[in-house]
Amino acid sequence: MRSVPIFDLESSHQLTTDIFVAFKQILIMQASSSDTEPVSRLVALPNGHRLSVVIAGPQRQADVPITIIIPGVACSMTEWAGVRRLLSPNTSVLLYERSGLGASDESEASPTASDIACELDVLLQTLAIAPPYVLVCHSYGGIIAREFVDLRQRAGGDDVVGMVCVDANQEDSIRLWPDSDLSDLGKGLDWYTAIGLDEENVLADAEWQAVRDEQRSEKHQRTTQKEMEHYVESCKELGAKKQLERHPPLLGNHPVSVIRGHPERDLRRVLQIAATVGNGTEEQRRQFGERLDLYPNIHEGIQKEILKLSLQHRFLDVPECGHFIHLMKPEIVVEEVRWVLQLQRG
């Protein structure tokens, strides 16, 4: 019988750490050596409202998709520096800050997902960026992205030719989040520090500092609160459109990649800190822990339902990452974008 080697746990952990450090150094060297780093600029929409935009990558050829990145709630385009850098040598990429984030103007409008999708549509028209589009969406960006697909299809276009869903939300995600106890358990905690991202992100130091500076700005926090006030409403509004029940699927045969992270990994870290510092009641912590035991199976089912958007799809599980795969393993996101583009060309 063939023997299986048993690895020393400490040595295995050190090897993993060494690989992580080496990969981070590669990204940092790429960041420091590039002489064509894209610069954000403010674009005035027809009504005078300004949005901050970055366009990176080679000059776009006719009928070649541009990849549009749509971050989640409380997240800015600064988080996507690693993905952008790995994609842009061969792929046209658009990143932007929706209203109230980064240098973009704040808006009095209610930031529902459908309103945000309309804002993106106006931005693309203003920039004269024609389809086809490939959407990369994370978290709440998954709701926004599908509202954008709906908007373009109702206008008569088959404009979105692929999607990469990075631990993206869908209408049923409200089964798991928001959680009524999480605000008490996380009270006073710096979220990214609590879940380990200060140490585990692979951005260059200056890039990570830009992420943190943006998060801590009063303007960013105001916008986050406004978006959260409409989160559940936006999920229900999307659910009413029954996109996941359509035959043929919403995106037909256009490729869809679903990358599943493990947010329960992040939440367990928060629960552990809550127990240490005494956040929440003992009963809240107990009940939250019980819900976390059920979380992985529910979350997997929610993620796999997104595959119903297309006849051509694939599912990738990333157990070593929490919710923020793009900050820990940007190369995984890039590989899925390349898969989508390859199939689209074929």
Q: Domains, the chain, ranges and CATH?
A: 35-345 (3.40.50.1820)
Other C-beta atoms within 10 Å of 187: how many? 11
Give the per-residue pLDDT at 26: 39
Output DSSP code: residue 203. Answer: S
Give the per-residue pLDDT at 144: 98
Residues 260 and 317: beta-carbon distance below 8 Å: yes
Residues 168 and 138: beta-carbon distance below 8 Å: yes
Residues 87 and 114: beta-carbon distance below 8 Å: no
Q: What is the pLDDT along the chain (346 residues), one digit of tens a residue?
A: 333 333 233 433 444 444 444 444 434 434 433 434 687 899 999 999 999 999 999 999 989 999 999 999 999 999 999 999 999 999 999 999 999 999 999 999 889 999 999 999 999 999 999 999 999 999 999 999 999 999 999 999 999 999 999 999 999 999 999 999 999 999 999 999 999 999 999 999 999 999 999 999 999 999 999 999 999 999 999 999 999 999 999 999 999 999 999 999 999 999 999 999 999 999 999 999 999 999 999 999 999 999 999 999 999 999 999 999 999 999 999 999 999 999 998 7
CA dist 165 and 336 (Å) reads 9
Give the residue carrying structure tokens 């080697």.
5
In single-letter form, the type of residue at position 193 comes to: T
CA dist 273 and 254 (Å) reads 43
CA dist 346 and 340 (Å) reads 10
Give the per-residue pLDDT at 62: 87
In the three-class reduction of DSSP (H, G, I as helix; E, B as strand; rest coil), residue 25 is classed as helix
- Going 214 to 51 to 147 to 95, the CA torsion angle's sign is negative
CA distances in angstroms from 241 to 102, 146, 231, 236, 298, listed in the order given: 31, 10, 16, 9, 22
Give the per-residue pLDDT at 178: 95
In the three-class reduction of DSSP (H, G, I as helix; E, B as strand; rest coil), residue 137 is classed as strand
Output DSSP code: residue 301. Answer: H
Query: Would you tell me the crossing angle of helices 282-305 and 263-277 to the nearest 10 degrees?
Result: 170
Provide the pairing of β-strand 50-56 with 41-44: antiparallel
Nearest to 326 by CA among 12, 90, 59, 93: 93
Give the per-residue pLDDT at 117: 98
Give the per-residue pLDDT at 200: 98
